[in-house]
C-alpha cells in the first residue's frame, strides 16, 4: 500500500510521514527532497531560475516515476494534488490522506519556515495569513478529493494509523 499524505504547506506531512513510516516499517519518501536530489538544486532556487510551471512538470513527472517500494508513506509537496492529473494518479495508485488544518494554525507553523518555500518567502505576517486563506480556498476542491481526511491538529501516528485501518489494510 502506498500512502500519499497531502495538504497545505505546514500541515505536518513530512513529520507525520516519518513517524508513520517508522510505525508501519514502510519506506519513507519525501517528494520535495527527492525533487531536490533529482534537480540538483533546492526547490527555491529551481523556482527562481525556471519558474513555477517548470517546477510543476518536474514534480508531476517524479510523482509518477519514483521507484516506490510496494509499501511506502509519501509526503507530497502542498501543490502536488492541484496540478495535472496528480490527484487521480495518487488515488489510483494508493490511498491519499488529506491532513486538514485551519489557516491560523498553518500560518503559525509556517512563520519560521518561509525561506525554503518560494510561494511565501517574501510575505509578512498579515500577507501570509491572507495568502493561506486564498490559496487554501483555491486548493480545497483538489484536497477534498482525498480518500481520507484527517484533522492535522494534534495528529499522532497512532491516530492516523487507526483512521487508515477504517479504509484500508496496512
Tell me how far apart the terminal alpha carbons of the chain are, to the nearest angstrom. Answer: 7
Output the DSSP codes for 84-117: TTHHHHHHHHSEEEEEE--HHHHHHHHGGG-TT-
- Closest CB to ligand S3P among 68 and 142? 142
Nearest distance in Å: CB 74, ligand S3P: 11
Apex 27 CA angle, 24 and 32, nearest 5: 125
- Closest CB to ligand S3P among 17 and 95? 17
Nearest distance in Å: CB 19, ligand S3P: 16
Nearest distance in Å: CB 119, ligand S3P: 5
DSSP state at residue 76 = P
For 7, the grid coordinates are: 495538504
Nearest distance in Å: CB 169, ligand S3P: 27
- Closest CB to ligand S3P among 43 and 146? 43
Maximum alpha-carbon separation in the chain: 44
- Closest CB to ligand S3P among 49 and 165? 49
- Closest CB to ligand S3P among 32 and 100? 32
- Backbone torsions φ then ψ of 119, nearest 5 degrees: -70, -20
- Residue ranges in contact with ligand S3P by CB under 6 A: 9, 13, 32, 43, 77-79, 117-119
Nearest distance in Å: CB 165, ligand S3P: 26
- Backbone torsions φ then ψ of 74, nearest 5 degrees: -120, 120
Amino acid at each position: 500500500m502506498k500512502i500519499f499524505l497531502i495538504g497545505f504547506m505546514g500541515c505536518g506531512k513530512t513529520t507525520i510521514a516519518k513517524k508513520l513510516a517508522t510505525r508501519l516499517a514502510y519506506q519513507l519518501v519525501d517528494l520535495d527532497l527527492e525533487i531536490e536530489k533529482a534537480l540538483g538544486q533546492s526547490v527555491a532556487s529551481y523556482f527562481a531560475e525556471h519558474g513555477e510551471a517548470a517546477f510543476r512538470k518536474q514534480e508531476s513527472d517524479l510523482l509518477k516515476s519514483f521507484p516506490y517500494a510496494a509499501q511506502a508513506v509519501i509526503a507530497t509537496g502542498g501543490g502536488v494534488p492541484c496540478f495535472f492529473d496528480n490527484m487521480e494518479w495518487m488515488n489510483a495508485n494508493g490511498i491519499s490522506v488529506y491532513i486538514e488544518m485551519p489557516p491560523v494554525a498553518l500560518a503559525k507553523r509556517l512563520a519560521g519556515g518561509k525561506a525554503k518555500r518560494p510561494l511565501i518567502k517574501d510575505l509578512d505576517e498579515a500577507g501570509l495569513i491572507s495568502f493561506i486563506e486564498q490559496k487554501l480556498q483555491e486548493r480545497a476542491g483538489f484536497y477534498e478529493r482525498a480518500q481520507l481526511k484527517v484533522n492535522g491538529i494534534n495528529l499522532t501516528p497512532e491516530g492516523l494509523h487507526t483512521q487508515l485501518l477504517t479504509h484500508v489494510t496496512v
